[in-house]
């Protein structure tokens, strides 16, 4: 477990109240949680924890980006999730009391908050809305994991790429054209979708050829969402 | 979905025996029973379809329920097999999403359905219940993450061996006899393998003198040796790729990788699951 040096310049209580998980707490509760929260700056490329490390709390990202991945012996790591601002991770390891099943590494310069497990368990005892928020968060996480399992086991590579692009539309029922910015490099997205970078490039290229998308670096514009959704392979 | 209530089913007594509710007072159990219904599900019957709304969750009293994704070519993918005292559907209910899988009885089953309102009322009033639910969801979360690791990074042989080790009771010695909880076909789908690949691997393990098979009963001569067999496999797979899962068609996942986690163990969520089952005998599902 990495040591967490507290940075005095960071106002933890005001960061906490901006997070959905803590919004319903009273100022006294926020002060109490803050006392058990440490901030941590993580430069791009640095490891936060290794697979197998013990969890002493969970993390919330203030700014930056963290990759959760499985290491593999031949260096072909598998990215499980990419976590961005206001998102949390590590709750499951805290509640399951299991070592981390993945490692965590910064994809950009990142500021994190680490909330200690003891204060989480205290809050669960005293604040039912906090418990409900935590449960809802874990439940949503599981829902998206199960969709990953479906995608890996039943969808073609092109379907996975299209599904990923459609996920980045601002709202589900959106129609017409749209421009999205990929949140990270194509290599990381490929690993996230369990594709080789070459396969991802080939599929994006095919979609561009079919005039379904236009690419400019990390910016992708989708001319007609309906057509992309219905694209048949 | 309508649930036919059966008066002969004493839901109160069933609920009181479930680990998930063991912190509750008899009064709370009684309240809960008013929002719970027993449901008999004959083998082969569907409990819910993918896309159905979730109005509550289920606990299996006896029997076995399969959770799976349908697929257009009929090759469904089994995600989980839920047995007695295990629950299903909490995460979907809490996430307020439609079911991402369908559920079908693999054996004649008795389930208890618990309505969402009753769960929310318990969450408001019983912190111990909330904690148990969180732990259950977290454990299930971990086992899904390990499934994803397994699909994406383990060879087919590793997956089969890990599955066998997962069914070994803890601290019972090196020679173990286990009974697979379901058919080979369903086990294969659960592991993301074709039934042919599963048969071939089991056959290879028999040939190597590591296991003996008699229908669903499998004798593991030495758990240690079986564990070591997959640790040795690294070199094999680098040469011939013999035990690499072959994609079924070109539309299958691209990187059915021949690699494994560097620690070379299947411990995480799986081998430790027997110890887990002692602590939390209920298992949650989405």
Coil vs helix vs strand at A33: helix
Would you say the C-alpha torsion A178, A184, A188, A194 has a positive or negative sign? negative
Rounded Cα distance between B163 and B154, Å, is 12
Contact B90 A71 (CB under 8 A): no
Q: Please report the pLDDT score of residue B259 as a whole number.
A: 33
Find, among B270, B274, B272, B255, the residue nearest to B154 by Cα.
Answer: B255
Contact A153 B137 (CB under 8 A): no
The answer to whether B66 and B111 have CB atoms below 8 angstroms apart is no
Contacts of A93 in chain B (CB under 8 A): 138, 142
**Nearest residue in A to B192, CA atom:** A153
Is the CB of residue A142 less than 8 Å away from at least one CB of chain B? Answer: yes
The answer to whether A58 and A100 have CB atoms below 8 angstroms apart is no
Q: Please report the pLDDT score of residue B55 as a whole number.
A: 94
Q: Summarize pLDDT for A4-13 with one digit per residue, the tens.
A: 455 557 899 9
pLDDT at A98 over 80: yes
Is the CB of residue B194 less than 8 Å away from at least one CB of chain A? Answer: no
Is the CB of residue A72 less than 8 Å away from at least one CB of chain B? Answer: yes
Contact B141 A92 (CB under 8 A): yes
Q: Whole-model pTM?
A: 0.75
Terminal-residue alpha carbon distance, chain B: 18
ipTM > 0.85, yes or no: no
**Nearest residue in A to B260, CA atom:** A72
Find, among A162, A126, A63, the residue nearest to B125 by Cα.
Answer: A126
Return all residues near B182 (Cβ < 8 A) that are at least 6 apart. Answer: B64, B66, B81, B106
Rounded Cα distance between A200 and B110, Å, is 46
Rounded Cα distance between A45 and A42, Å, is 8
Is the CB of residue B286 less than 8 Å away from at least one CB of chain A? Answer: yes
Find, among A140, A128, A137, the residue nearest to A58 by Cα.
Answer: A137
Q: Summarize pLDDT for A47-86 with one digit per residue, the tens.
A: 999 999 999 999 999 999 999 999 877 667 888 999 999 9
Contact B145 A80 (CB under 8 A): yes
Rounded Cα distance between B138 and B120, Å, is 18
Contacts of A150 in chain B (CB under 8 A): 69, 77, 79, 100
Mutation for testing the A interface, residue in B95, B194, B276, B282 having most A CBs under 10 Å? B95
Is the CB of residue B137 less than 8 Å away from at least one CB of chain A? Answer: yes
Is the CB of residue B241 less than 8 Å away from at least one CB of chain A? Answer: no
The answer to whether B20 and B86 have CB atoms below 8 angstroms apart is no
**Nearest residue in B to A90, CA atom:** B138
The Cα of A43 is separated from the nearest Cα of chain B by a number of Å equal to: 26
Contacts of A98 in chain B (CB under 8 A): 139, 142, 268-269, 272
Would you say the C-alpha torsion A142, A159, B256, B106 has a positive or negative sign? positive
CB environment B114-128: b (16+ within 10 A), e (fewer) = bbbebbeebbeebbe
Q: Please report the pLDDT score of residue B74 as a whole number.
A: 67
Beta-carbon-side half-sphere exposure of residue A171 (alpha carbons within 13 Å)? 4
pLDDT at A191 over 80: yes
pLDDT (mean) for A174-197:
86
Contacts of B149 in chain A (CB under 8 A): 70, 78, 101
pLDDT at A155 over 90: no
The Cα of B173 is separated from the nearest Cα of chain A by a number of Å equal to: 24
| Total beta-carbon pairs less than 8 A apart between chain A and chain B | 171
Rounded Cα distance between B163 and B47, Å, is 26
Is the CB of residue B275 less than 8 Å away from at least one CB of chain A? Answer: no
Rounded to the nearest 5 degrees, what angle is found at the Cα of A112, between the Cα atoms of A111 and A117? 170
Q: Which residues pair with B104 in a beta bridge?
A: B46, B66
Nearest CB among A51, A74, A101 relative to B142 is that of A101
Contact A139 B286 (CB under 8 A): yes
Q: Each residue's pLDDT tens digit in chain B (286 positions)? A: 445 555 568 899 999 988 889 889 999 999 999 999 999 999 999 999 999 999 999 999 999 999 999 876 667 888 888 999 899 999 999 988 899 999 999 999 999 999 999 999 999 899 999 999 999 999 989 988 988 888 887 888 888 998 898 888 776 788 899 988 888 888 888 888 888 999 999 999 999 999 999 988 999 998 988 888 887 654 444 333 333 333 333 333 333 333 333 344 443 333 333 333 333 333 333 3
């Amino acid at each position: 477990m990495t040591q967490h040096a507290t940075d005095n310049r960071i106002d933890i209580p005001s960061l906490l109240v901006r997070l959905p998980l803590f919004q319903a707490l009273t100022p006294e509760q926020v002060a109490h949680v803050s006392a058990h929260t440490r901030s941590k700056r993580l430069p791009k490329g640095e490891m936060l924890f290794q697979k197998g490390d013990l969890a002493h709390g969970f993390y919330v990202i203030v700014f930056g980006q963290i990759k959760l991945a499985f290491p593999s012996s031949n260096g072909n790591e598998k990215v499980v999730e990419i976590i961005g601002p206001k998102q949390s991770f590590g709750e499951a390891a805290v509640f399951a009391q299991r070592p981390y099943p993945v490692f965590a590494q910064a994809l950009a310069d990142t500021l994190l908050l680490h909330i200690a497990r003891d204060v989480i368990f205290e809050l669960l005892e005293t604040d039912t809305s906090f418990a409900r928020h935590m449960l809802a968060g874990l439940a949503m996480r599981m829902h998206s994991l199960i969709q990953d399992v479906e995608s890996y086991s039943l969808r073609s590579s092109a379907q996975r790429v299209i599904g990923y692009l459609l996920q980045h539309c601002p709202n589900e029922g959106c129609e017409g054209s749209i421009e999205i910015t990929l949140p990270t490099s194509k290599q990381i997205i490929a690993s996230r979708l369990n594709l080789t970078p070459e396969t991802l490039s080939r599929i994006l290229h095919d979609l561009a050829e079919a005039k379904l998308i236009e690419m400019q670096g990390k910016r992708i514009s989708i001319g007609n969402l309906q057509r992309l959704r219905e694209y048949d392979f | 979905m309508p649930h036919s209530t059966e008066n002969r089913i004493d839901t109160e007594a069933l609920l009181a025996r479930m680990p998930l509710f063991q912190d509750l007072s008899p009064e709370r159990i009684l309240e809960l029973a008013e929002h719970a219904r027993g449901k008999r599900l004959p083998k082969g019957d569907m409990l819910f379809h993918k896309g159905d709304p979730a109005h509550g969750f289920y606990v299996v009293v006896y029997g076995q329920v399969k959770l799976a994704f349908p697929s257009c070519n009929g090759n469904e993918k089994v995600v989980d097999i839920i047995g007695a005292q295990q629950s299903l559907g909490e995460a979907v209910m809490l996430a307020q999403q439609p079911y991402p899988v369908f559920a079908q009885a693999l054996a004649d089953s008795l389930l208890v359905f618990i309505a969402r309102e009753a769960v929310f009322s318990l969450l408001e009033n019983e912190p111990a219940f909330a904690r148990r639910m969180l732990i259950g969801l977290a454990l299930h979360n971990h086992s899904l993450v390990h499934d994803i690791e397994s699909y994406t990074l383990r060879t087919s042989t590793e997956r089969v061996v890990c599955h066998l080790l997962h069914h070994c009771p803890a601290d019972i010695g090196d020679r173990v006899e286990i009974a697979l909880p379901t058919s080979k076909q369903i086990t294969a789908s659960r592991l993301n393998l074709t039934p042919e690949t599963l048969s071939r691997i089991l056959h290879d393990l028999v040939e190597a003198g590591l296991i003996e098979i008699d229908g669903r009963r499998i004798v593991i001569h030495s758990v240690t040796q079986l564990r070591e067999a997959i640790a040795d496999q690294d070199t094999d797979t680098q040469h011939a790729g013999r035990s690499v899962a072959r994609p079924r068609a070109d539309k299958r996942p691209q990187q059915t990788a021949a690699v494994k986690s560097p620690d070379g163990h299947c411990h995480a969520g799986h081998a430790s699951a027997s110890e887990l089952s002692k602590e939390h005998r209920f298992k949650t599902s989405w």
